[in-house]
Amino acid sequence: MLKETRTFAQTMFEAYIYIYYFTTLSLLPSGFTMLRAFSHTNGRCAFHHAKCWHHRKSVLAIRREDVNAWERRAPLAPKHVKELTQMGYKVLVQPSNRRAIHEKDYIKAGGIIQEDISEASLIVGVKRPPEDKLIPKKNYAFFSHTIKAQEANMPLLDEILRQEIRLFDYEKMVDHKGMRVVAFGKWAGVAGMINILHGLGLRFLALGHHTPFMHIGMAHNYRNSSQAVQAVRDAGYEISLGLMPKSVGPLTFVFTGTGNVSKGAQEMFNALPCEFVEPHELKEVSRSGDLRKVYGTVLSRHHHLVRKRDGLYDPVDYDKHPELYTSRFSTDIAPYTTCLINGIYWEQHTPRLLSRQDAQKLLVPVRSAAGATEGCPELPHKLLAICDISADTGGSIEFMTECTTIDSPFCMYDADQHIIHDSVEGSGILMCSIDNLPAQLPIEATEYFGDMLFPYIEEMLLSEGSEPLESQNYSSIVRDAVIASNGSLTAKYEYIQKLRESREYAQSLKMGNKKRVLLLGSGYVSGPVLEYLTRDSNVDITVASVMKEQLEQLMKKYSNVTSVHIDVIKHEEKLSSLVKKHDLVISLLPYSAHPLVAKKCIDNKVNLVTASYLTPAMKELQESVEAAGITVISEMGLDPGLDHMLAMECIDKAKEVGATVVSYTSFCGGLPAPEHSDNPLRYKFSWSPQGVLLNTVQSATYLKNGEIINIPAGGALLDSVTPMDFFPGLNLEGFPNRDSTKYAEPYGIQTAHTLLRGTLRYKGYSKTMGGFVKLGLINPDPYPLLSSTMPPLTWKELMCKLVGIKLPAEYHVLKEAVFSKLEKDKSQLEAVEWLGLLGDEPVPAADSIVGALAKHMEMKLPFGTGERDMIVMRNEIGLRHPSGHLEDKFIDLVVYGDNKGYSAMAKTVGYPTAIAAKMVLDGEIDAKGMVIPLTKNVYGPILERVRAEGIVYSTRSVIKQ
């Protein structure tokens, strides 16, 4: 009864206020206008306006947008400020030269340009303010992006709670149907449509077609939307004249959603000569439609959503149980779509429009029609572009994982490689997913948004942020948009804290389930491997090495790396124990150690990555590897490694256009930069010296003009040196490397009459190495006299034994004997003397003579402080096209080391190895057995990612008749 009495009293009071207002309206100051909310008859209007008159001096502030350089909008335009000031409110406007609407227009409307906005009771903006600029116990209204507990904005929410700020979020201002009443949606659609038409022009050009879309710019290049409409109309006029290339076929545009976003995009689309069709008609018009127009369709839920069990769509059931439904968009709509304009947001448990697997199917190249020519190609696939105006990462478009920006509006998504690269060229779908599109048309967007916001401004303005929320007479639209007040989340949004706790708990579980990597070796290449892998805090790395000082240096540099000082070759049981504790092993040991490591990985079912050749000893383990269900990746460095990847990228692209490979030649070398090649060997060591030395006595086999050439082991390789003049200033020479012919089958180039892989060095290197071979210094056989258990030998003593003279011997006697052994070659003798091989310096303990020489050279020929190395690779691939003409492809890779950073060799071996390891850890490479990087799903992502590490290659072509 008491409650009813209060309600009656309140009703009588409000009636009195109505009478008071109507009888005194004529006494109001000239020009004073009641807020349009007065016409909102909702039972509180009279009380509301009485409060309006009482608080005539309430202050509103429009804050400066300062989070994004492109944010030139404001929440209210001058016309809204004018209405507020005429009603007696004070409006402060923070100065901003970036704001698209000039300050003088706000001043003319009655606004006050002022930096200090602390006297305002309500501060409005578009985007979030920086935490350090928040003012305690104020009302704030802006897009907070906190309602999904977005991690990036949780510090802002924490500060809002701490400072007891009342936060109104525009995104949650919705009507009784759940429709947003305050939004920029239309202008997101308008700007997005302009942008994607511009992007299509660029994409068509990259595919070989000039189109009228080339004359459409980005949305922000136009003063207003009218100018943009005219540009689109001009392009449409050319389309209507039949100026679209015939080989691209009819263009179809699909708009998802029926809200303001979709309508804004359609409004711009209507400036083209367009015809809207039903979704089921797309298939027909995409094949035989009129090229003098473009086709559009608007997609609603019932067009593509069906219940999994019976293929029907029930809107009521869908709202209750969206997880029971699936989308047929990828099969019924997407195959006939040129451009998708996506304006729908995605919620968990609802079907996606497109998944990664869907994209892979949609990007399968179409067969060229008989009439297609090189100059007038057909499109590689129908679906060319997606404009995801929703900018909902990982949402309805699963593979849209990162928004683009106004600065870099487009990227290409390659579904086969599951990579995104910033370009309009290459394979894949053109993506545009800018998350602040209305900022490109800031004046119109501001006026549009302000019109929607203005009816709710007064009720937010007439409350103090320090007052209890319960005492405020808000409409349901405004009340339901209050995220936080008086230091707490409001009841409707308490779930945000639960979301945060759930995410933090999941992250803690994830941290407790870190991926563990065992790195064997701490030499030159380990630096880039560790640097790359430690970027992921969820990866823990153990480095095992015999080099104690190197381990200590690594421990100082990397926090999530532990070290084990061990010679794993001599302690197999400890190696096995280490392998067992890890998820993946990376072996940077000499290639001869890899079979042992691989066997331990097989026993413990642990994956393995190496940069070395897949040797016969490793191949023998193929069945065991497959039986263990593990992945063993080899040849993942520079050579072998990047040479394979660059070759296969070119070969696969050639095969896609029907070309055959008639020749393949690849030469690669790690060298000192020219200014640091001042020694008889013209060489310095940035990786295993022993491997470099042994390569010179290996056998080699290659194919030349249809004839197989065999070079026996023992040094004959150095007699097959050829000058290399593709970079004349470098004075290079090259010689064959191992068995080149074995790559004909894995490369799929059995049609090649020439197949040669070789090593590059500066001119003179081979001759000097030939001298070491003559002297027996490149001998890998065991040599017990050099064992650490034997009395040390000097180089002079060892050389006496090698040339067959008795000890002790005079220097000149030994020198003459060596000169004779070198067949009187002065340059070879000078190299021997320069290295001190005739002196009294002790020979390093080693298992073999070549091992000792390697250690000696490592000390004599290191890179000094400030010296850098370089990598030079040249692939030459001869192609024969179906037309009969020949083409030579030249792929060049030149990388320099960093003076105070990693060597070029370390980068070009370490980064590919690390990237491959990360791909295995993340499940991107899941093939079981022996793997080398010859398939697109492996080499594609790696080539893309090494570019980000500064490993960049160039390609050019020469066409022959």
CB atoms within 10 A of CB 218: 18
Q: Which residues contact 823 (CB under 8 A, 6 or more apart)?
A: 774
Asked if 332 contacts 311 with a C-beta cutoff of 8 angstroms, the reply is no
Catalytic residue among 388, 414, 639, 869: 639
Provide the β-strand partners of residue 704: 707
Query: What is the DSSP annotation of 800-835?
Result: HHHHT-PSS--HHHHHHHHHHHTTT-HHHHHHHHHT
CB atoms within 10 A of CB 347: 11
CA atoms within 13 A on the CB side of 355: 9
Cα(676)–Cα(679) distance, rounded to whole angstroms? 8
**Residue 546: both structure tokens together:** 């015999």
Closest residue by Cα to residue 694 from 613, 778, 785: 778
Asked if 932 contacts 633 with a C-beta cutoff of 8 angstroms, the reply is yes
Tracing tokens 């608080």 back to the chain, one arrives at 55
Asked if 215 contacts 235 with a C-beta cutoff of 8 angstroms, the reply is yes
**Helix (H) or strand (E) run with residue 167 in it:** strand 166-169
What is the 3 state secondary structure string of 345-365? CCCCCCCCCECHHHHHHHCCC
Q: How far is CA 4 from CA 7, 8, 9, 10, 395, in A?
A: 5, 6, 9, 10, 50
**Residue 466: both structure tokens together:** 């320090």
Kindly report the length of the chain.
Answer: 961
Closest residue by Cα to residue 221 from 242, 201, 195: 195
Per DSSP, the three-state class of 414 is: strand
Long-range contacts of 308-313 (CB under 8 A, 24+ apart): none
Q: How far is CA 776 from CA 50, 459, 713, 796, in A?
A: 106, 95, 14, 14
Asked if 849 contacts 775 with a C-beta cutoff of 8 angstroms, the reply is no
Q: Give the DSSP letter of residue 792.
A: P
Q: How far is CA 647 from CA 126, 468, 644, 893, 943, in A?
A: 51, 70, 5, 12, 11
Does the annotation mark 639 as catalytic? yes
At residue 413, what are phi and psi to the nearest 5 degrees? -105, 115
| Sign of the alpha-carbon torsion through 944, 946, 952, 956 | negative
ω before 279 within 30° of 0 (cis)? no
Residues with catalytic function: 639
